[in-house]
Amino acid sequence: MPKILGIETSCDETSASVLEGSGDEVEMKSLVILSQDIHKVFGGVVPEIASRAHLTSIVPVVSRALEDAKVDLDDLDAIAVTSAPGLIGALLVGVSYAKSLAFARGIPVIGVHHMEGHLFATALEHRDAVPPFTGLLVSGGHTMLLDVEAWGHYRLLGATRDDAAGEAFDKVAKLMGLPYPGGRHVEALAREGDPSRFRFTRPMVKRNDTPNDPDYYQFSFSGLKTAVLNAVRASDDVERDKTDIARGFQDALIGSLVEKTLRAANEFGRDRIVLGGGVACNTTLVEAMRERASEIGAQVFAPKPRLATDNAAMIARAGLFHFERGVRSGLDLNAFASQPIPGLVAA
């Protein structure tokens, strides 16, 4: 069975993981994630600090992942590394290190698209979270709705026109004075909130939408964020109102995600919905998705938080898929801040 090392440094997590297996039978031998807490001080990720932090932690993080998996470099068949999209300086640390290791050991290196990694993450935990399925990726940087007919065949149905879902959570958290990253804090507030006091419209959802409508599968969260800002400004007691505002915001955002995902599952006749990305940690989202999916007999798979947020196991898993198909990146593998997900088929 091939053993593969995954490396992820696209944003503010330095992560390494070893997987062993083949096809959809894959065992996670180790997963190490080092989160860079320093960015909390600045209320957002500072790219230059992220690159430097990856430089100091990449060697111990990879060593630890090998130790935990009880393998050494000579046991590895390949190294997979996130090569796009992300912060360019941060990506370069992982890509350069992966290439050096691969060159030194004479094994292949495989560049992996970060969002393709997120699509594979849930399969590490749930055997049935495999294609065909409707995929919803919701993170701090991306919001993507995809129809996944098979691994490597991705029909991109919709994306965000402005802010990503996680970014909207983080911005709303900031204007309520909550720490960064704010998603889970907003979710905690919303749980205490009254759903009837602040009703915001679900973005990009019209009652008579048809699949021919250009916005049928699209998302947009910046108008919702502005509506929240206006509600906060209009409040004479933000401390009193913030749970209710958080609830109204979250209901509208989740309403939009659930509606569009169910539209896609219906149109393509999928009975599996796979969630990924940091916002998939939101249990209110997962429950709402399950409730609506049950009406059409579809199952919803969400990864546990360690696999939902950025991690190297998902990169190793996507890398293993490509490795088994003979894909190899050369030592000229480069990092790219943005790049379309590979394997896109026409929508």
170, interface contact from Zn ion, ligand KG4, none, CB < 5-8 Å by kind: ligand KG4
- Out of 147, 170, 241, 251, point to the residue binding ligand KG4 (CB under 6 A): 170
Contact window for ligand KG4 (CB under 6 A) among 148-156, 220-228, 275-283, 296-304: 275-283
Kindly determine how many residues on this chain lie close enough to bind ligand KG4 according to the rule CB under 6 A.
Answer: 19
The residue whose two tokens read 């069975």 is 1
Contact window for ligand KG4 (CB under 6 A) among 64-72, 278-286, 293-301, 338-346: 278-286
Q: Is 181 in the site for ligand KG4 (CB under 6 A)?
A: yes
Report the C-alpha gap between 13 and 39 in whole angstroms: 11
Q: Which is nearer to ligand KG4, 141 or 158 (CB)?
A: 141
Q: Is 139 in the site for ligand KG4 (CB under 6 A)?
A: yes
Q: Is 279 in the site for ligand KG4 (CB under 6 A)?
A: yes
Residue 331 CB: number of other CB atoms within 10 A?
10
CB of 285 to Zn ion, least distance (A): 16
Phi/psi of residue 155, each to 5°? Answer: -100, 110
Give the x/- contact pattern for ligand KG4 in 90-129, rule: CB under 6 A. Answer: ----------------------------------------
Close Cβ partners of 7 (under 8 Å, ≥ 6 residues apart): 15, 16, 58, 62, 79, 80, 81, 82, 94, 97, 98, 312, 315
Report the C-alpha gap between 188 and 262 in whole angstroms: 25
Q: Which is nearer to Zn ion, 7 or 176 (CB)?
A: 7
Q: Is 82 in the site for ligand KG4 (CB under 6 A)?
A: no
Q: Which is nearer to Zn ion, 227 or 312 (CB)?
A: 312
Q: Is 278 in the site for ligand KG4 (CB under 6 A)?
A: yes
Strand 78-84 to 3-8 pairing:
parallel
281, interface contact from ligand KG4, Zn ion, none, CB < 5-8 Å by kind: ligand KG4
- Please name which of 291, 294, 284, 217 lies closest in space to residue 256, comparing C-alpha atoms: 217
Give the x/- contact pattern for ligand KG4 in 231-270, rule: CB under 6 A. Answer: ----------------------------------------
12, interface contact from ligand KG4, Zn ion, none, CB < 5-8 Å by kind: none
Report the C-alpha gap between 250 and 183 in whole angstroms: 10
Residue 299 CB: number of other CB atoms within 10 A?
16
Q: 250 in the Ramachandran plot: left (φ > 0), alpha (ψ -120 to 50) or beta?
A: alpha
Residues that bind Zn ion (CB under 5 A): 139, 310
Element counts in the chain: helices (H) and strands (E): 10, 11
Close Cβ partners of 85 (under 8 Å, ≥ 6 residues apart): 10, 113, 114, 115, 141, 336, 337, 338, 339
Q: Which is nearer to ligand KG4, 108 or 140 (CB)?
A: 140
Report the C-alpha gap between 259 and 267 in whole angstroms: 12
- Footprint (CB under 6 A) of ligand KG4, residues 280-299: 281-282
Close Cβ partners of 94 (under 8 Å, ≥ 6 residues apart): 7, 8, 9, 10, 54, 58, 81, 82, 335
Residue 80's H or E segment, with its range, is strand 78-84
- Out of 20, 147, 241, 310, point to the residue binding ligand KG4 (CB under 6 A): 310
- Out of 17, 57, 143, 309, point to the residue binding ligand KG4 (CB under 6 A): 309
Contact window for ligand KG4 (CB under 6 A) among 223-231, 235-243, 277-285, 315-323: 277-285
Report the C-alpha gap between 51 and 53 in whole angstroms: 5
Q: How far is the first Cα of the chain from the last one, in angstroms, to the nearest whole number?
A: 36
184, interface contact from ligand KG4, Zn ion, none, CB < 5-8 Å by kind: ligand KG4
Q: Which is nearer to ligand KG4, 3 or 113 (CB)?
A: 113
Query: Can you give the binding site for ligand KG4, defined by CB under 6 A?
Result: 11, 139-141, 166, 169-170, 181-184, 187, 277-279, 281-282, 309-310
